[in-house]
Amino acid sequence: MFSIHADLSHLEIQPLLLRQRRQQHQQLRHQLRRHQLLRHQLLRHQQLRRHQLLRHQQLRHQLRRHQLLRHQLLRHQQLRRHQLRRHQQLRHQLRRHQLLRHQLLRHQQLRRHQLRRHQLQRHQRQQQQLLNLVPYSAILSVELA
Q: Which residues, including other chains, have CB under 8 Å from residue 131's CB and lie 6 or more apart? A: 139
- As a residue count, the chain comes to 145
Q: Which residues, including other chains, have CB under 8 Å from residue 26's CB and lie 6 or more apart? A: none
Instruction: Report yes or no on whether pTM surpasses 0.75.
Output: no
Per-residue pLDDT tens over the stretch 84-141: 999 999 999 999 999 999 999 999 999 999 999 999 999 999 988 887 876 666 666 7
